[in-house]
């Protein structure tokens, strides 16, 4: 158990560990997106977006944790290593890396896929086919946001390895 806790507070050290973190993150993303997209079936205005935002509020910190990039994990590093991590985050432009994830940050991420979400809202009012389309669009939107974040985390870790 102690080695697992230690592992959670370590940056991936090599390409194999980075790839493993990506795989675990993608699996978690797919499960979360599938569950969140089920809310699209409920024809109540705004419920699906609230569920998407809530799911991302939980998912993004979990992805950050996989890569050793939560605020708490970064705080555990030496001051020199922290500086390197923050330089890498700035270089990549990861808006949700190394930060406390707030509803506002999640809403900004969802705005990236805003058109899809608008279509999702409208399509859910068309019986059966519209609800299915809404669920598919919701799943795709969540996948897009999550995969972009995973790519950013992996790029940050790669940069950190290069800066050493």
Distance CA 32, CA 12 (A): 23
Higher pLDDT, 115 or 58: 58
Domain range list for the chain: 12-163
Higher pLDDT, 124 or 164: 164
Higher pLDDT, 157 or 47: 157
63 within 8 A of 146, measured Cβ to Cβ? yes
Question: Token pair of 114, please?
Answer: 């805003």
| pLDDT reading at 5 higher than 70 | no
The residues near 27 (Cβ < 8 Å, ≥ 6 apart) are none
Distance CA 136, CA 130 (A): 10
What pLDDT digit, counting tens, does each position of 17-31 carry?
999 999 999 999 999
User: Which secondary-structure segment (H or E) carries 106?
Assistant: helix 103-111
Question: Token pair of 155, please?
Answer: 């790029």
Higher pLDDT, 154 or 123: 154
Whose CA is closest to 120, among 11, 2, 33, 16?
33
Q: What is the mean pLDDT of the chain?
A: 81
| pLDDT reading at 162 higher than 80 | yes
- Under the banding of pLDDT at 50, 70 and 90, the label for residue 89 is very high
Question: Token pair of 138, please?
Answer: 């919701």
């Amino acid at each position: 158990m102690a080695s697992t806790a230690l592992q959670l507070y370590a940056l991936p050290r090599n390409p194999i560990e980075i790839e493993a973190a990506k795989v675990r993150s993608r699996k978690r993303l797919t499960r979360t997106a599938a569950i969140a997209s089920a809310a699209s079936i409920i024809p109540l205005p705004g419920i699906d977006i609230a569920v998407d935002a809530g799911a991302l509020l939980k998912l993004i910190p979990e992805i950050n944790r996989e890569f050793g990039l939560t605020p708490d994990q970064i705080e555990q590093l030496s001051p020199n290593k922290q500086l390197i991590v923050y330089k890498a985050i700035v270089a990549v432009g990861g808006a949700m890396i190394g930060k406390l994830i707030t509803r506002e940050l999640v809403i900004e991420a969802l705005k990236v896929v805003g058109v899809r979400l608008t279509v999702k809202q409208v399509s859910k009012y068309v019986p059966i086919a519209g609800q299915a389309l809404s669920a598919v669009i919701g799943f795709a939107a969540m996948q897009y946001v999550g995969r972009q974040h995973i790519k950013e985390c992996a790029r940050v870790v790669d940069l950190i390895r290069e800066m050493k």
